[in-house]
Structure formats: C-alpha cells, structure tokens
Structure 1
Amino acid sequence: MKTIATCVEEILISQPFLEDALNRNILNYSALSEELKEPISKMLRKPVKSGAIMMALRRYSPPKEMANKIKLNKILQNLGDITVRSNLSDYTFRNSATLIHSHLKMLEVIKKHNHLFYTFTRGVHESNVLITTSLKEQIEESYKNENCTTFKDHLSAITIGLPKENTKIAGLYYQFFKRLAWEGIALYEVVSTTNEFTILVEDEVVDKAFSAIKGLKNRQ
C-alpha cells in the first residue's frame, strides 16, 4: 500500500538532482512540499496536506552503502591525468558491408601519425570516427563511399585516467555526468576504455568542463 513517504521516495529516486539537492540541504522544504502536493495526491488518489509531505521529506533517508561511498571518494581523489585535446572532428557513418574496408584504409594513414587523436566506435546501426581535424581530407577520402549521416568539428576531448579498481565501484561515471549536468554542459560524445574515460564537448565549453572534472578530483 502506498503512503506519502513511499511516494516521496519514488519521486526523489526518479529525480536524482532533486534528491542530491535535498541531501545538501539547499532546498526549501515548504516550497517543495507545495510543489509535490498535486503529483502525490494523484499517486494516492486522494488529497494530501503539504505538512505531511514536509514531514516525509525531512524523514527521508536515501539508501547509502557507506563502504561504496568511501571507495568512490577514494577513486575520485586518485584520478589520473586529465588531458585535453582540441581541433577534433566527429563523423557518424551508417554501418555497411564496406565500412570496415574504409576503416582499414584510414588505419594505413593513421599509423604514420602516432601523435594524433583517433577513435573508432561501432554501434548496432552506425559507427563514429573521432579524429584530429588536420586529417579531414584523408578521412573523407577513405570513407568517400560511405553514408556520412552527421559531421561536427570544433570539438575538444577531455580524457580522464581512472585507477584500475574503477570497474568495481558503483556510481563512478554518474559522478562525472552529474557534475557536468549541474554546470549545464552538454556532451557531444562519450568514449571509454577500461581505465580511461573521454568526453567530447564543443570548444566553447571545454574550459568549463575541464574545471568541473578537476573539481571532482580535488573535492574533499
């Protein structure tokens, strides 16, 4: 049977920003209670009082696993180097029977340029190529017979080195996404390997994104 408390919990869990603000004590309980009156009344199919909602909010205790929280904070404090690469372009190609052959042509070019930034990601229906913009002519020649659905330049990549134990910690990537979302930073692309995490953003927000990520690393 649903109660006001279970409704409050359901709403907060479905809106992590709201839950985070509540935990940080930066919300006005009275205003939030009034805001939740209508949705909770609909959930319970009867009118509810804001005072009862406020009491449920004050009593709300988010599920926490202390051991994981300690490990998560340790991981964030021990993040590796944060590297920024600019002048990047991103291509999206429709998957085809010939796409891998086009990719092999590009690999022949890339092996002569060890310093450049390059990633190839294959999805179910499309593949992405992220590459240094200076090789625009070569990539367009290599993939000239493919269907390019999206192209974007003036991009920058921020790569974060992760400790080896990162795969055992729940919620690590969420910390990056949450911090960037709080700053209003849209991610154009995300690429990861086992011990590296790379976000792709537009050039004009790269400094802001870098500061946000560095803030996570330096937090107490």
Structure 2
Amino acid sequence: MKTISSVVEHYIKTKPFLLSALSQGIINLTSLARNMMPELELELGKDVKQGAVVMSLKRLSEDLDFRLNHKIVKVLKSIGEITVRSSLTDYTFVVSDTMLNKHVELINRITANPEVFYTSSRGVNETSIVVSSSVNDIVDTLFADEKMVERTDNLASITIKLPKDNISTPGVYYYIFQRLAWEGIIVNEVISTSYEFTILVSEEEIDLAFKVMKDLKNL
C-alpha cells in the first residue's frame, strides 16, 4: 500500500540534485511540498495535506543527512594523493581482431620512457587509449588501419587514491561526480580500479576540477 512517506521518498530519489540539496538542508520544505503535491495526489489518487508532505520531507532529510553525509564524508576525508597530468590525448577505436597486438606494440614502444602516460580500457564495441600527447605520432602510425570513433586533444587527468572503505560505501562516486557536474565540468573519460580512479577533463577546466577534488577532503 502506498503511503505519503513512500511516495515522497520515491519522488525525491528520482531527482538526484534535489536529493543532495535536501540532505544539506538548503531547500524550503514548505515550498517544495507545495510544488510536489499535484504529482503526489495523482500518484496516491486522493487529496494530500501539505503539512503531511512537509513532515515526510523533514523526516527524510534527517535520514538522508546521516546516510549521505556521515558515511560518505568519512570516506572523502580519507582521500589520498591527488595527481595531475596535462597534455594528454584520448583516442577511441572500434574493437577489432588486430587491436590487441597493436596495444602490445605501443606498450613496447613507450615502456623505455617512464614519463609517458598510457592507459587503455575496452568495452564491448569500443576501446579507448589515453596517452601523453608526445607519443601521438606513434599511436597515429600504429593504429592507422583501425576505425577511429573519436579523438580528443588537450586533455588533463586527475588521479585520486581512495581509502578501502570506498568499495563498501554506496554513493561515493555519485557524490564526487555530482560536485563536478555542479561546477559545469565535462568529464571526457573515467578510468578506475578498486582504490584509485582517474578522470579526464579539458586543460581549460583542470584547475577548477582539481579544486573540486581537493575541497572534498575538507568537507
């Protein structure tokens, strides 16, 4: 049976930015309840009192404050080293039978230079390669016969080391990417392991993106 509380919670959870703002206590609950009521009444099939909606929002905001802030902030405060790299290029190719051998050859060509950044990931139909722009000529030559889907130059990366608690705490990545979205930062690529993840952004936005990441440790 649907209740006002359950319908209110579902409404809020389907709107991520509203969910976060509610957890931070920066929304006028009365105004929000007034805006929600037509949809809630349609969902419940009956009239709803504004005061009941406000009370449900208040209880939900208190619960969210614990679930979103106390647990996630504990993880974010434990963020480790933040590493920034610039002058990167992101290639995306269609997966092919010859792709793996070319990856091996590329690695062999650049291994002697520890300053060169290289990482790759493979999906079902596409594979991406992120390298220092200084070796673009090598990639262009080795993968000349492959079908390139996209190439983005002038990128920078931010690599963050996360504490082990991150894999057992829901919402950590959501919280990070939400903060980036709030600042209007476009994330071109995401590369992650269990306790480390890297984002690629344009070099024009790297300073702002770094500030967002650094500020997470001071929540």
2:38 aligned with 1:25: no
Work out the CA distance in 2 between the residues paired with 1:84 and 1:193.
17
**Stretch moving more, 165-174 or 120-129:** 165-174
Extract unaligned runs of 5+ from structure 1: none
Show the counterpart of 1:182: 182
Change (3 A) 1:42 1:67: closer
Shift of 1:55: 2.9
Aligned residues: 219
Tell me if structure 1 keeps the 8 A contact 2:23–2:64: no
Work out the CA distance in 2 between the residues paired with 1:67 and 1:30.
23
Q: Which amino acid is the alignment partner of residue 214 of structure 2?
A: K
Shift of 1:165: 4.3
Show the counterpart of 2:144: 144
Show the counterpart of 2:79: 79
Q: Which amino acid is the alignment partner of residue 82 of structure 1?
A: I
2:197 aligned with 1:211: no
Tell me if structure 1 keeps the 8 A contact 2:79–2:163: yes
Work out the CA distance in 1 between the residues paired with 2:144 and 2:187.
27
**Stretch moving more, 192-201 or 41-50:** 41-50
Q: Which amino acid is the alignment partner of residue 38 of structure 2?
A: E
Show the counterpart of 1:55: 55
Change (3 A) 1:34 1:210: same
Shift of 1:182: 2.3
**Stretch moving more, 32-41 or 113-122:** 32-41
2:171 aligned with 1:171: yes
Work out the CA distance in 1 between the residues paired with 2:64 and 2:47.
31
Show the counterpart of 2:95: 95
Work out the CA distance in 1 between the residues paired with 2:69 and 2:143.
46
Q: Which amino acid is the alignment partner of residue 27 of structure 2?
A: L
Show the counterpart of 2:4: 4
Shift of 1:197: 1.0
Q: Which amino acid is the alignment partner of residue 180 of structure 1?
A: L
Tell me if structure 2 keeps the 8 A contact 1:189–1:201: yes
Show the counterpart of 1:121: 121
Task: After superposition, give the CA deviation of every residue in 1:31-74 in whole Å (9 maximum; x if it has no partner).
Answer: 21122122212211334343432232223256569699656434
**Stretch moving more, 74-83 or 55-64:** 55-64
Task: After superposition, give the CA deviation of every residue in 1:154-195 in whole Å (9 maximum; x if it has no partner).
Answer: 111000122344333333222211221222222111001232
Q: Which amino acid is the alignment partner of residue 76 of structure 2?
A: L
Tell me if structure 1 keeps the 8 A contact 2:192–2:198: yes
Change (3 A) 1:115 1:206: same
CA RMSD of aligned residues (A): 2.3
Shift of 1:200: 0.7
Change (3 A) 1:91 1:71: same
Extract unaligned runs of 5+ from structure 2: none
Task: After superposition, give the CA deviation of every residue in 1:102-130 in whole Å (9 maximum; x if it has no partner).
Answer: 21221121112211111010111100000
Change (3 A) 1:85 1:15: same
Show the counterpart of 1:197: 197
2:153 aligned with 1:153: yes
TM-score w.r.t. structure 1 length?
Answer: 0.89
2:10 aligned with 1:16: no
Q: How high is the sequence identity, in percent, across the aligned residues?
A: 41
